[in-house]
Amino acid sequence: MSEEIVLEAKSISKFFGTITALNDVNLKITKGEVLGVVGDNGAGKSTLMKVLSGLYKQSEGSLFFSGKKVNLNSPRDSQNLGLEMVYQDLALAGNLPIGDNIFLGREPVKKVGPFNFLDHKKRKQLTEEHLAKLKINVKSADQKVEELSGGQRQAVAIARATAFNAKIVIMDEPTAALAVKEVGKVLDLILNLKNLGVSVIVISHRMDDIFSVCDRVMALFQGTNFAESLLKDTSRDEVIGWIMGKKD
């Protein structure tokens, strides 16, 4: 874990009409760091992540990728900067097959004359390779996502986030729907990414998750920064307290 800051959010505020979802929030993460983000429902965690990914545009504040200020107009912009996201609701199109979902928006194409046509073979091949690498067991890469179990769908969402050589991966409640064995796989994956120098932001309400993989943890409370600490300097009880808005 180096000291190079790969992503920094400064003074982020987000208003939805009269509702203030985020107020003057700061976040930074260094290369190869695993940052845990905690907070109660409505604290603003998912909203902050969606600002980082470009799905939402912040009302105030700025984002910096590798020290350079950026304006994100769509998730594609953050993807191009090397940021991938696993959404809390997975953001998968159930009517489409696994491969289609993994490559949605950036499907491999082949050029025929002036036109770009989908390269179905390449998409299927890349999907199968990636699923094998992650040891994800499904009947076929052509299976529609709606036919999969909750755990398999989660695995597909994670596969999508790790298929594009991301520098930063955000995971919003990645273990929420999983059985014990599958949780272990996800935590192992996060550590693998860390070892490869990928920065990971993990939102979770499960202390086991936070305390097994994170280097640092920060808490949001009612849309603002509430507390922050290196893992080794804090305890489960203290972090749980932060979630409930208690600080010494």
188 phi, psi to nearest 5 deg:
-60, -40
The residue (of 48 and 243) whose beta carbon lies closer to another protein is 48
Residue type, 89: D
Give, in degrees to the nearest 5, the angle at Cα 168 between 182 and 184. Answer: 15
- Paired tokens of 14: 């987000």
Query: 196: buried, middle or exposed (CB in 10 Å: 19+, 13-18, 0-12)?
Result: exposed
115 contacts another protein (rule: CB under 8 A):
yes
Of the candidate spans 32-40, 106-114, 204-212, 230-238, the one that interacts with another protein by CB under 8 A turns out to be 106-114
211 phi, psi to nearest 5 deg:
-80, -10
User: What x-and-dash track marks residues 29-68 binding another protein by CB under 8 A?
Assistant: ------------------------xxx-------------
The residue (of 33 and 100) whose beta carbon lies closer to another protein is 100
- Paired tokens of 96: 């489409």
User: What x-and-dash track marks residues 66-105 binding another protein by CB under 8 A?
Assistant: --------xxxx-x-----x-x-xxxxxxxx---xx--xx
The residue (of 153 and 194) whose beta carbon lies closer to another protein is 153
- Least Cβ distance, residue 135 to another protein (angstroms): 17
Beta bridge partners of 116: 111
Q: Using an 8 Å Cβ cutoff, are 213 and 190 in contact?
A: yes
User: What x-and-dash track marks residues 144-163 binding another protein by CB under 8 A?
Assistant: x-xxxx--------------
Tell me which residue of 29, 35, 6 sits closest to 190, measured CA to CA: 35
Instruction: Give CA–CA dist 47/59, Å, rounded.
Output: 12
- Paired tokens of 169: 């991966």
- Least Cβ distance, residue 64 to another protein (angstroms): 20
User: What x-and-dash track marks residues 204-233 binding another protein by CB under 8 A?
Assistant: ------------------------------
Which residues in this chain contact another protein in the complex, by CB under 8 A? Answer: 53-55, 74-77, 79, 85, 87, 89-96, 100-101, 104-107, 109, 115-118, 120, 139, 144, 146-149
